[in-house]
Amino acid sequence: MRVLVISDIHANYTAFEAVLEDADDFDAVWCLGDVVGYGPDPNACVELLSEQPNLICVPGNHDIAALGKMPAESFNGDARRSLLWQQRVLSGSTMVFLDSLPKKVEANKNVTLSHGSPRDPVWEYILNTMTARMNLPEFATDFAFIGHTHVQSMFFYDEKEDRVSLEIPRVGLPISLSGRGIFNPGSVGQPRDRDPRAAYAIYDTEALVWEPQRIAYDIEAVQARIREAGLPEKHALRLAEGW
């Protein structure tokens, strides 16, 4: 089965559409959370996501906060402004969808899905090998797919050497998976690795192949909608530079 793995759409409908069109032929979608937050199109993104085939989705911290289940004070000033706006505009169907999501799930016998990390699905960032190593006991499957950092990354565990290594993948280069590892497809709607293109990955469940991808989209159109909504200017500017 060919799975589209996405994360951190962050209410960026234009980027999400571009990813779906670029990925083209897939049998299922696994979403790693933060469908809403920051961007101008939360309801449209949830509606489009809910239409995808064989969907499995976990919530991110912004999704949970948008439901009012996390203090707004947990976020910095600009993120808080965006969060309060999101709470005002979310439709009833969007809230029902977000409220139905499990925080951590085994998508199949090989893969566990969570937003932050397997041991702290909501908040923990896996940015280095030490944090990755500490999370290995927290999932029973071979692989964990996570989001939250907005950076495409791969952590591999070498059992023989008892060592975790970090690799930043090359776009379009298929990676054969074996052993154990933690993999991040990057962010659809707000990349933070200095590459403004929307990020995602394709996972082949039979061949155990992970393929990171990027696609350009109309950033200026999204920036215009952010400004029209009165959202923080920072959230418009960062899209163009990928930070």
Residue-wise pLDDT tens digits, 177-207? 999 999 999 999 999 999 999 999 999 999 9
User: How many domains are there within the chain?
Assistant: 1
Helix (H) or strand (E) holding 94: helix 92-99
pTM of the model: 0.97
Of residues 68, 110, 122, the one with CA closest to residue 208: 110
81/70 Cα distance (integer angstroms)? 14
Distance, CA of 229 to CA of 12 (rounded, Å): 13
pLDDT at residue 71, rounded to an integer: 86
Please count the other Cβ atoms lying within 10 Å of the Cβ belonging to residue 49.
18
As a whole number of angstroms, the distance between CA 209 and CA 196 comes to 25
User: What percentage of residues in the chain have a pLDDT greater than 70?
Assistant: 100
CA atoms within 13 A on the CB side of 137: 2
The neighbouring-strand residues paired with 204 are 2, 209
Q: What is the CATH number of the domain that holds 195?
A: 3.60.21.10
Contact 174, 211 (CB under 8 A): yes
| Residue 219 domain boundaries | 2-241
Compute CA 37 distance to the chain's CA centroid, rounded to the nearest angstrom.
Answer: 12
List the Cα angle 196/2/62 in 5-degree steps.
45
